[in-house]
Amino acid sequence: MSNSQQVIPISLGYVKAFLIKGKGAVLVDTGVPGSFDKIIDALKQNGVEPPNVSLIILTHNHIDHVGEVYRLKQFTGAKVAVHESEAKALREGRNTEVVAAGGLLSKILVKMVKNSELKGVEADVLIKDELDLGEYGIEGKVIHTPGHTPGSVAVALADGEIIFGDTIIGKTNEKAAKPLFASDLKELKNSVNKIAKMLPRVIHNSHGVPCSTKAIEGLYQKL
């Protein structure tokens, strides 16, 4: 894999988007509504002009990950990719179903997310099991990792870097927690195991800190 390929986190408060910069430029997620200027500034600061972003990958269709997809799609001209099971909700401007994974906080947040409104977007690329990113100038692929939502996906790069949406929350390099929301805990466990078997070099998380294979192996045992 080329040493010039990078994963650049874009901090957007309690959530992150990610710029993957290689022969091409791909954006993973778009943050909460109001994140547009921060994302554009981050692109430019890292030497990427907005029209050079060829693809926007949505890890799943919740407001803190798709909040600026409409504006960014219009501004960059990039294609939008989402798992096929969440394309209808994205088009209709509503969140994919939010299911509490246990605990009072998650139950409170469910109501907040359900009541949020989004700008509908028609996806250009529908992901099923995998999507090769070679045609977008990135060495890696998008893989289906259901559990947080039915259509949650992760980005697996050729050098062993993984980008997750909300499948896990990184606590430390060696510790991870399950997300506050989970549509299916059994599927979530299977997805965590799927990634653990890939022996990733580093796991980037939308919520929390980057972590290691050891962290998700430990989480798998607890799920």
179-194 residue pLDDT tens: 988 999 999 999 999 9
pLDDT at res. 2? 46
Radius of gyration of the chain (CA): 16
Q: Is 144 a domain residue? A: yes
Check pLDDT > 90 for residue 88: yes
- 26-84 pLDDT, tens digit each: 999 999 999 999 999 999 999 999 999 999 999 999 999 999 999 999 999 999 999 99
Closest CA to 206 of 32, 26, 23, 21: 32
What is the reported pTM?
A: 0.94
Q: Is residue 1 part of a domain?
A: no
Q: Under a CB-based contact definition with an 8 Å cutoff, are residues 151 and 142 in contact?
A: no
Query: Would residue 77 count as lying in a domain?
Result: yes
Question: pLDDT digit string (tens) for 123-180?
Answer: 999 999 999 999 999 999 999 999 999 999 999 999 999 999 999 999 999 999 999 8
Can you say whether the dihedral through the CA atoms of 111, 150, 22, 202 is positive or negative?
positive
pLDDT (tens digit per residue) in 94-131: 999 888 877 666 666 666 666 677 889 999 999 999 99
CB neighbours (10 Å) of residue 220? 20
- CATH number, domain of 137, equals 3.60.15.10
Structural domain contains residue 125: yes
Instruction: Give the per-residue pLDDT at 33.
Output: 94
Question: Does residue 41 fall inside a structural domain?
Answer: yes
Question: What total of structural domains would you count in the chain?
Answer: 1
Query: What is the span of the domain harbouring residue 56?
Result: 6-222
Say if residues 192 and 158 touch (Cβ distance below 8 Å): no
Q: Does the CA dihedral 106-107-108-109 come out positive or negative?
A: positive
Distances from the Cα of 150 to the Cα of 51, 214, 218, angstroms: 31, 25, 23
Q: What is the pLDDT of residue 60?
A: 97
Q: In the 3-class helix/strand/coil scheme, how is 112-124 assigned residue by residue?
A: HHHCCCCCCCCCC
Give the pairing type, strands 25-28 and 53-57: parallel
